[in-house]
Amino acid sequence: MDDADSPAPVQRVLAASEGAAEFLSLIGAEELSPCLFAESLVMVSESGQPLGHFSVSVQPACYEEPGGQEEDCYLVHAANQGTINEVPCGSSITAYISKRLETLEQHQQEHVKFRAHPLDRKTHIVKRGGRLVVTKIIEEGEHEVQTQSVSYNCASLHGLISEAANLLVLRVLARRRAVPQNITFLAFDTEAGVCTSTYTAMGFQKQLVGMTQVEVFVIERAVCPDEGIPMTWQFYFLSDGHLARRVQVGSPATMLLQQLPVLIDVDEVEPRPVFEKKPLDWEEDVQLYSQFLDRKEELQAGHASYARRHPELRTLLADFLQLLLLHKPHDVLTFAAEFFAPFASQHPPGTTFRASDEPSPFRGRV
């Protein structure tokens, strides 16, 4: 066995089928977003006796790499704990999965508490640069520890679905109600070696959840190591991706949903309405023309009221018109500005009369 501090040997791996990587790349954030929830099932025996519990949760997270760079991802946590044949056992997975469903880091632990010879198995997967390093630690009894570490080139792992990523992929397939056909993916076996895995649709069945009979979609996943017996699981899903039942072929325990959850509905985004531009003839529109007449009368009444309250206005305007007709200036606007400038409220204090040779500020701007 390799020492824990020695460099991990590089391994050659199998290849996934041609469409595996493309299938995973087409799973976008809009499909993964409804799959971010927590759920809990009960572990029962073949006779229906409770043996333990099983839980899965997926939530958005941020993964920080050793260099300080951060990446938005998903935090996946799954755990089961129970007692089978009077032997306590359990397993847990905690992983950071990228939005491309690549495994950034995963911690997996399995334990079986035999009285005379307890077994504890830990597997750590971490992505460093362009390599995926897998470290496996086995503790048997109190002192015996076995450590093995291998390194894989990430370029050779296209189509890899780790145990944590598998939980997300299953929810997506359950919501689609469809499974890719004739596609082989990559996975890790119990010895931390790369092997193949497949998904198969088993059709629809009826299942009793609490007091309610529901329809479930069944997906079978098989992990096939190079040596040994393939491991097979059957997953029974509700329409929104909640797990209703999980069976590992050959295991005496079954994970079972006992209470029907509130199903997750994804609101369909309706397209924005498009309103065609229509020519507006306000004189022909009865309502707009009525509003125009009301506003016209209102303005006329306001102007007349203001003129009555300020009789000096008529005198001022009469003087301006008389002076305008007398001088007949070419630039009427500048002439008006010079005439009314002394009456401005913001005009600086000073003499009202201006010397004939003083330059006009209004003419200087022209």
CB 206 within 8 A of CB 213: yes
Angle at 192 between CA 172 and CA 4, to 5 degrees: 130
CA proximity to 148, closest of 162, 138, 140, 139: 138
Angle at 48 between CA 42 and CA 49, to 5 degrees: 75
Query: How far apart are alpha carbons 328 and 155 in whole angstroms?
Result: 88
Neighbours of 87 (CB within 10 A): 12
Give the dihedral of Cα atoms 93, 175, 250, 146; nearest 10 deg: -20
Query: How far apart are alpha carbons 17 and 362 in whole angstroms?
Result: 82
pLDDT > 90 fraction of the chain, expressed in percent and rounded: 53
What is the structure's pLDDT at 142? 72
CB 229 within 8 A of CB 210: no
pLDDT in tens, 221-257: 999 988 888 999 999 999 999 999 999 999 999 999 9
pLDDT in tens, 308-328: 888 888 888 888 889 989 989
Give the confidence band of 212 by pLDDT, cuts at 50, 70, 90.
Answer: very high
Burial class (CB in 10 A: 0-12, 13-18, 19+), 149: buried
pLDDT in tens, 41-91: 999 998 889 999 999 999 999 999 887 889 999 999 999 999 988 889 999
Query: How far apart are alpha carbons 107 and 295 in whole angstroms?
Result: 75
253 phi and psi angles, rounded to 5 deg: -110, 145
How high does pLDDT run on average in the chain?
87
**Alpha-carbon separation of residue 63 from 3, 70, 91, 298, 342 (angstroms):** 28, 5, 23, 66, 71
E strand or H helix that includes residue 229: none
More confident residue, 364 or 172: 172
21 phi and psi angles, rounded to 5 deg: -65, -40
Q: Does residue 332 have a pLDDT over 60?
A: yes
**Alpha helix positions (H), 203-330:** 286-309, 312-327
Strand partners, 186: 160, 196
Q: Does residue 110 have a pLDDT over 90?
A: yes
CB 179 within 8 A of CB 133: no
Residue-range domain boundaries for the chain: 18-256, 286-337
What is the structure's pLDDT at 284? 81
Cβ partners under 8 Å of residue 212, min gap 6:
260
Query: How far apart are alpha carbons 127 and 105 in whole angstroms?
Result: 6
Q: Pull the structure tokens for residue 98.
A: 């990228």
3-state class (DSSP) for residue 258: coil
More confident residue, 142 or 308: 308
Q: Does residue 349 have a pLDDT over 60?
A: no
